[in-house]
Amino acid sequence: MLKIYNTLTRTKEPLVPIETGHVRLYVCGMTVYDLCHLGHARVMVAFDVVVRYLRSRFRVTYVRNITDIDDKIIARALERGEPIDVLTRRYIDAMHEDERALGVPPPDHEPRATAHLPAIIAMIGTLIDKGYAYRADSGDVYYRVRAFAGYGALSGKSIDDLRAGARVQSGEGKEDPLDFALWKAAKPEEPAWSSPWGKGRPGWHIECSAMSIECLGTHFDIHGGGPDLKFPHHENEIAQSEAATGERFVNLWMHNGPVDVDRQKMSKSLGNFLTIRDALARYDAETLRYFLLQSHYRSPLDYSEKALTAAKTSLTRLYATLEGVTPMAGAAGADHEQRFLESMDDDFNTPLALSVLFDLAHEIHKSGKDSAQAAALAFRLHRLGGLLGLLGRPPAAFLRSGGAEVLPEVEIERLIAERDLARGERRFADSDRIREELGRRGVILEDVAGGGTRWRRR
RNA sequence: GGCUGGGUAGCAGAAUGGUUAUGCAGCGGCCUGCAAAGCCGUGUAUGCCGGUUCGAUUCCGGCCCCAGCCUCCA
């Protein structure tokens, strides 16, 4: 039985799909005004693993939205003197490239705010009709927070505490400083859509309520996102959605942990963020994925060169184990598979699941790579790794990739042949000189017991 | 200040009321012409103070420290 930690109840709960056999999942995606950073990579990869695992036993509908209209986008477009749609198009494309590079398949639906204005406007209308929202003289429409009884349940905040907080500012025309915008009246040069309340654009939170409901229905299984979305974004989504529909909105709320740099959250406002591209220029995408999965998805994760290098070494062990084995389905390793699945069933405990992969690797080495036992274990290792989006390449493709200096393969092969000749004639000084030369150029040699030499890049 | 979550060996990182995490690094051995890889063996830990218990790293209370949120942020 798969259990998932629910932010709302702060306990692990069994996943029981509302519709038998079908899990509906919505994740808050990117606001496209800049390149994606490692925090975004964590959301992509964490939920990719969630979805891969869910798909192994349910039908899944996975929705991840794109916010393509908002204050920051407008500001950035103005700053660059560029039309908004050109700017957002460019960053959407960049995001898709990053996603592909990370080996994350696209979600089933990727709704964009600007393509869902009718649904957004309709929902705001409903909220006004039901007394949960009001139009201020400025033309802005606000959500009346105190009208929603459950406000603060997700983030553990009380309206009184929030009100006492010094940092909440009151906006023009708000009844209460905590009220938040559903619709923002357009200023002269801003993009605007017509609405019953005048020209304007949607507030940030309402788009996710409207789009998730449009794509998945008024009540669905899982809603996820980054750690800083819990409040106010998701809190506001609950308030909007449940007030509008009168139904429970979401059963399970999932939030991944932050990516830190130097023990501090990587964020745009702090300016300490590293883009996915920055990281991929230095490390293999699968190494980055391994690094992300080495910690539990809810824990904070500290990015460092050291950690990434260690991740590469670990992944190398797994791939090196698979090299030279022909995987073949068999009985061996059923217990390992069982442990792997139990780990994943416990709120996607990927660090524990990975440890099972290493146990499997150990067994493969022990049983001898050419044994039937090893073939069966390798088959499981490969398949279970696949559930995490790992070990999908031919081992040599991983082991021989990268390296600071790219010595052509033919040259490497030539030197190895030369060395083999020297070894055959027991001219060890010569053969060692070649090995050292290759070593200096980032190539590590491994003589295989029955003859022949394997190589990989450092 | 309020609300969450956390403090585990050299590092990373799981788990657990009494018994091996795992990976990297270290040490000894085997294997190898020598290496590399692998195998065998091995050391190092549960922030502090109380309480519950036959027994607590694990449960409870207090304290200290860290991170996140409370403002746009994944």
Single-letter code of the amino acid located at A456: R
For the stretch A112-122, pLDDT in tens is 999 999 999 99
Three-state secondary structure along chain A? CCEEEECCCCEEEECCCCECCEEEEEEEEEECCCCCEHHHHHHHHHHHHHHHHHHCCCEEEEEEEEECCCHHHHHHHHHHCCCHHHHHHHHHHHHHHHHHHCCCCCCCECCEHHHCHHHHHHHHHHHHHCCCEEECCCCCEEECHHHCCCCCCCCCCCHHHHHHCCCCCCCCCCCCCCCEEEEEECCCCCCCECCCCCCEEECHHHHHHHHHHHHHCCCEEEEEECHHHHHHHHHHHHHHHHHHHCCCCEEEEEECCCEEECCEECCCCCCCCCEHHHHHHHCCHHHHHHHHHCCCCCCCEEECHHHHHHHHHHHHHHHHHHCCCCCCCCCCCHHHHHHHHHHHHECCCHHHHHHHHHHHHHHHHHHCCCCHHHHHHHHHHHHHHHHCCCCCCCHHHHHCCCCCCCCCHHHHHHHHHHHHHHHHCCCHHHHHHHHHHHHHCCEEEEECCCCCEEEEEC
Q: Which band of pLDDT confidence, cut at 50, 70 and 90, is reported for residue A158?
A: confident
pLDDT > 90: what percent of chain A? 82
Does residue A165 surpass a pLDDT of 90?
A: no
Inform me whether the pLDDT recorded for A144 exceeds 80: yes
Higher-confidence position of A58 and A164: A58
Structure tokens at A18: 């509302």
Task: Identify whether the C-beta of residue A302 lies closer than 8 Å to the C-beta of residue A263.
Answer: yes
The b/e string for A13-39 (b: 16+ C-beta within 10 A; e otherwise) is eebebeeeeebbbbbbbbbbbbbbbbb
Which of A44-48, A269-273, A380-384, A390-394 is least confident? A269-273
pLDDT tens for each residue of A296-318: 999 999 998 889 999 999 999 99
Please give the pLDDT value at position A38.
94
The pLDDT of A280-298, averaged and rounded, is 95
- pLDDT of A65 reads 97
A411 vs A416: CA distance, rounded Å:
9
Please tell me the predicted confidence (pLDDT) of residue A143: 96
Q: What is the mean pLDDT of residues A42-46?
A: 97
What is the Cα–Cα distance from A223 to A220, expressed in whole angstroms? 8
Mean pLDDT value across chain A: 92
Q: Say which residue, A324 or A449, is predicted with more confidence.
A: A324
The Cα A99–Cα A381 span in angstroms is 25
User: What confidence tens digit (pLDDT) does each residue in A206-226 have?
Assistant: 999 999 999 999 999 999 999
pLDDT tens sequence across A381-422: 999 999 999 999 999 999 998 765 678 889 999 999 999 999
- On chain B, which bases lie within 7 A of the protein's CB atoms? 1-5, 11-15, 21-25, 32-40, 66-74
Q: What is the mean pLDDT of residues A109-133?
A: 97
Q: What gap in Å lies between CA A205 and CA A344, rounded to an integer?
A: 32
Residue A167 has pLDDT above 70, yes or no: no
- CA atoms within a 13 Å half-sphere pointing along the CA-CB vector of A37: 20
Instruction: Name the nucleotide nearest A357; use CA and C1'.
Output: B22
Confidence class of residue A171 from pLDDT cuts 50, 70 and 90?
A: low
Residue of A276 and A406 predicted with greater confidence = A276
Residue with smallest Cα–C1' gap to B31 = A449
Residue A169 has pLDDT above 80, yes or no: no
Q: A457, A399 in Cβ contact below 8 A?
A: yes
Tokens of A170: 């009151």
In the structure encoding, which two tokens stand for residue A24, read together? 């509906």
CATH number of A260-399: 1.20.120.640
Q: How confident is the model at residue A449, as a pLDDT?
A: 81
* Distance from CA(A5) to C1'(B5), angstroms, rounded: 13
Whole-angstrom Cα distance, residue A230 to residue A312? 32
Protein CA A433 to sugar C1' B34 (Å): 12
Q: With 60 as the cut, is the pLDDT of residue A168 above it?
A: no
User: What's the confidence (pLDDT) of residue A189?
Assistant: 81
Give the residue among A36, A23, A184 at the shortest CA–CA distance from A113: A184
pLDDT of A237 above 60: yes
* C1’ B41 / CA A95, Å: 50
Average pLDDT over residues A245-251: 96
- Mean pLDDT calculated for residue range A236-255: 96
Q: Which nucleotide is nearest to A226 (CA to C1')?
A: B74
Average pLDDT (A145-173) is: 78
CA of A423 to C1' of B33 (A): 9
Task: Please give the Cα distance from A248 to A118 (Å, whole number).
Answer: 23
pLDDT at A404: 58
Look at residues A235, A241, A244, A243 and name the one whose alpha carbon lies nearest to residue A220. Answer: A241
Q: How far is the CA of A223 from the C1' of B71 (A)?
A: 24
Cβ neighbours of residue A122 under 8 Å, at least 6 residues apart? A210
Question: Which of these ranges, A150-164, A243-257, A272-286, has the smallest mean pLDDT?
Answer: A150-164
- pLDDT of A269 reads 73
Q: What is the pLDDT of residues A19-31, one digit of tens each?
A: 999 999 999 999 9
Straight-line distance from CA A108 to C1' B59, in Å? 44
Domain A17-255 falls under CATH 3.10.129.10: no
Q: Which nucleotide is nearest to A235 (CA to C1')?
A: B69
**Does the pLDDT at position A164 exceed 90?**
no
pLDDT at site A229? 95
Paired tokens of A293: 């999965």
Report the C-alpha gap between A35 and A96 in whole angstroms. 11
**Whose C1' is closest to the CA of A263: which nucleotide?**
B67
Q: Is the dihedral of CA A323, A327, A332, A338 positive or negative?
A: positive
Confidence of residue A188 (pLDDT cuts 50, 70, 90): confident
